[in-house]
A and B are shown apart, each in its own frame.
Chain A
Amino acid sequence: MEKSGEAYWKATLGLLTKILMVWFLVSFGAGILFADMLNNIHLGGYPLGFWFAQQGSIYIFVALIFYYGKKMGEIDRKFDVHED
């Protein structure tokens, strides 16, 4: 059990790292650091960097949380620590 507890936590941290990387990239990356560069590309009437800062990052945040919920459920079951 001790072993599987550690493995479970490692799998959890791996998932969190992946998701937080995307979280960082869409908001701080596309919305701020690279916004100027992305503004040369247009999404309809939206300059892309502006779109990420005021629209896109929010949609992706929502998707990230539901993805997290689903993947955590799978990890819980794999290591047999899920709720009944």
Chain B
Amino acid sequence: MDLQTTIYLVVGASFALYIAIAFWAKAGSTSEFYVAGGGIGPRMNGMATAADWMSAASFISMAGLISNMGYGGGLFLMGWTGGYVLLALLLAPYLRKFGKFTVPQFIGDRYYSKSASTVAVLCLLTASLTYVIGQMTGVGVAFSRFLGVSNEVGVYVGMGIVFVYAVLGGMKGITYTQVAQYWVLVIAYTIPAIFISIQLTGNPIPQLGLGADLIGTDISLLQKLDSIVVDLGFDKYTTSMPGSMLNMFLYTLSLMIGTAGLPHVIMRFFTVKTVADARSSAGWALIFIAILYTTAPAVGAMAKLNLLRTVTPGVVMQNADIYAKDAAVEYAKRPDWMARWEKTGLLKFEDKNGDGHIQYYNDKTKNEASKAKFDEAGWKGNELTVNPDIIVLANPEIALLPNWVIALVAAGGLAAALSTAAGLLLAISSAISHDLVKGVFNPKISEKNELLAGKFAMAGAILVAGYLGLNPPGFAAGTVALAFGIAASSLFPAIMMGIFSKKMNKEGAIAGMLAGLFITLFYVFAHKGIFFIKGTDFVDMIGGPNPFFGVSPEAFGAVGAAFNFIVAFAVDKVTKEPPAHIQHLVESVRTPRGSKAVDGAH
């Protein structure tokens, strides 16, 4: 069977499964629509959370980023997992005890203020909408790369699939499809990794293979990788870091706090039965996430080595001279997969010195000794440009794995994008139907009508997400920084203070949220333009790029969060303390006894 047919079959089968689940898990009440009826077991919720969490970026891009960044890529790994410790210890069990449908509802009730919940709704909508754009473009990319259809068709098909199970089933449909999607994506991710690990190290467990010796040699894989990339003028793989140590520190912290504050993840913990379940469910979620996240660095390093092995065949497994005339592969004799991916534009070759061979190295190195060697070898600049996304997408082809593995990777990428999109869309639609329609405009709405409003909001959110996916505002890469920045600087501190400080009042919380949000947006927009509109950046006005101790905008969320805390406590000090019943509410949120099923009462 040819590759294209195999991909259609595997992806088609996975879609059929999701749609079958949708018809089996229809939502008939608001409780089913918002929190899947509230009876999901901790392990199953952990799986759904893992799929909810692991997005197109985690699946498609992360290993490639690590592959390029080396050691510094660890900031994604630690940031996106360490957040679960914060979520489990500081937020999830208490919000579950509070027992309401949405995150803004907690903020509104705890700070006895419609304005507070409205600010929270705004933060939630901005964070979730920017995040969902990335998922929709991810769906388009996966479709166009693997199924040979246009981006547009890909996004429409993706919208259609999500529409069926998210509108029909709400959280209930989403939960069960996410469980299925988890298995599709984790199998698709680990199988190629296992094969590659065996090929390079003889060890079938990638996590161990990364720390093992190259097969048939007594030199470790990482040591070999280090020495080759240094020869090619790159920084040493196991120590290279983006920016300063302070930047890496704050970047990691921002991702952690942002992870814990993202509403679509927090919401998943409203679906479990008890407070104790919420605690253990966070642990299960992290186990399921860790299976992929501990594999990713192996994929990153091994794919890099495989790429070098393709470009300079004798250098990796034997000790051929990397600067020798025939060390680099001839362009005419390059493997088929390179030719295939050149068509997509993700891989580019330009024969700068006209020798017909592919030279891949860092021509921007500052090291004079390396430069001299490059000149002596007759190299005239780097000739191969590799988009980081290739590392996962082309991985099975680079390792010469069978067609069904390639098909599985296509299905896995789509599962990752669709499962995260669905979770985000639910966060958006429940904020609209529950916090705005019921909470602000029409508190007397019947349950039946609220359910209908929820479904309409979901359908509307899908259309908006699809539109943005088709017409991405030209800042796809900036969106993740923005979503995490907003969650870290506004939502996380407000929720945490609501639980851990009995005396925090509405004035303090609202001022803190707005201050954190404003300073973070200011810093991000200064670098990337106001609402990412080209030409409106004003970074020179605040002293050039990264003016705050060299901190990049992606790493600024933690600073925004600190700002939020400081402003909140300062304002809290000079305004009057919250009423007694609110302080009792905090006390009751802190103890598990008396937890009840999550409901929507205001």
CA distance A5 to B223 in the complex (A): 55
A83 touches B274 (CB 8 A): yes
Q: Which residues of A contact B88 (CB under 8 A)?
A: 65, 68-69
Is B531 close to A, CB under 8 A? no
B590 touches A12 (CB 8 A): yes
Is B516 close to A, CB under 8 A? no
Q: B268-290: contact bitstring with A at CB < 8 Å (1 yes, 0 no)?
A: 00000011100110110011001
Is B367 close to A, CB under 8 A? no
CA distance A36 to B49 in the complex (A): 34
Q: Which residues of A contact B (CB under 8 A)?
A: 5, 8-9, 12, 16, 19-20, 23, 27-28, 31-33, 35-36, 39, 43-47, 50-51, 53-55, 57-59, 61-62, 64-66, 68-69, 72-73, 76, 80-83
Q: Which residues of A contact B248 (CB under 8 A)?
A: 32
Closest chain A CB from B258 CB (angstroms): 15
Closest chain A CB from B96 CB (angstroms): 11
Q: Which residue of A lies closest to B500 (CB)?
A: A13
Question: When A23-B82, A32-B245, A57-B82 are in contact, do A66 and B280 touch as well, CB less than 8 Å?
Answer: yes
Is B85 close to A, CB under 8 A? yes
Known contacts A72-B276, A83-B595; 15 further A-B pairs (Cβ under 8 A) = A19-B85, A27-B82, A28-B249, A31-B74, A32-B252, A44-B211, A46-B210, A46-B211, A46-B222, A50-B238, A59-B290, A62-B287, A68-B283, A76-B276, A83-B274
Question: When A5-B587, A50-B71 are in contact, do A62 and B252 touch as well, CB less than 8 Å?
Answer: no
CA distance A73 to B593 in the complex (A): 12
Other-chain contact of A57, B78, B221, B275 (Cβ < 8 Å): B78
B290 touches A68 (CB 8 A): no
Closest chain A CB from B126 CB (angstroms): 28
CA distance A41 to B221 in the complex (A): 16
Other-chain contact of B286, A46, A61, A72, A81 (Cβ < 8 Å): A61
- Among all A-B residue pairs, the 4 with the closest Cβ atoms: A45-B220, A53-B74, A65-B283, A44-B211
Closest chain B CB from A43 CB (angstroms): 6
B592 touches A76 (CB 8 A): yes
B290 touches A62 (CB 8 A): yes
Is B504 close to A, CB under 8 A? no
Q: Which residues of B contact A28 (CB under 8 A)?
A: 249, 252-253
B77 touches A54 (CB 8 A): yes
Interface of B is mostly: helix
Closest chain A CB from B45 CB (angstroms): 14
CA distance A9 to B221 in the complex (A): 49
Closest chain B CB from A38 CB (angstroms): 11
Is B19 close to A, CB under 8 A? no
CA distance A46 to B275 in the complex (A): 39
Q: Which residues of B contact A66 (CB under 8 A)?
A: 280, 283
CA distance A17 to B326 in the complex (A): 59
CA distance A82 to B207 in the complex (A): 39
| A5, A8, A54 — most chain B CB neighbours (10 Å) | A54
Q: B86-108: contact bitstring with A at CB < 8 Å (1 yes, 0 no)?
A: 00111001000000000000000
A45 touches B223 (CB 8 A): yes
A16 touches B89 (CB 8 A): yes
23 A-B contact pairs sorted by A residue (CB < 8 Å): A8-B591, A23-B82, A28-B253, A33-B249, A44-B208, A45-B213, A50-B239, A53-B74, A53-B78, A54-B74, A54-B210, A55-B297, A58-B77, A62-B283, A64-B85, A65-B88, A65-B283, A66-B283, A72-B93, A76-B591, A81-B593, A83-B275, A83-B595
Other-chain contact of B211, A27, A51, A58 (Cβ < 8 Å): A51
Q: Which residues of A contact B449 (CB under 8 A)?
A: none
CA distance A65 to B288 in the complex (A): 13
Closest chain B CB from A10 CB (angstroms): 11
B89 touches A55 (CB 8 A): no
Question: When A45-B223, A54-B73, A69-B280 are in contact, do A59 and B593 touch as well, CB less than 8 Å?
Answer: no
Q: Which residue of B lies closest to A24 (CB)?
A: B82
| B85, B90, B594 — most chain A CB neighbours (10 Å) | B85
Is B84 close to A, CB under 8 A? yes
Q: Which residues of B contact A16 (CB under 8 A)?
A: 89-90
Closest chain A CB from B391 CB (angstroms): 15
Closest chain A CB from B242 CB (angstroms): 12
Closest chain A CB from B233 CB (angstroms): 21
Other-chain contact of A65, B74, B84, B212 (Cβ < 8 Å): B84
A81 touches B592 (CB 8 A): yes
B71 touches A54 (CB 8 A): yes
Q: Which residue of A lies closest to B78 (CB)?
A: A27
Q: B455-495: contact bitstring with A at CB < 8 Å (1 yes, 0 no)?
A: 00000000000000000000000000000000000000000
Q: Which residue of B lies closest to A16 (CB)?
A: B89
A50 touches B207 (CB 8 A): no
| A16, A39, A55 — most chain B CB neighbours (10 Å) | A55
Question: When A39-B238, A45-B211, A45-B222 are in contact, do A59 and B590 touch as well, CB less than 8 Å?
Answer: no
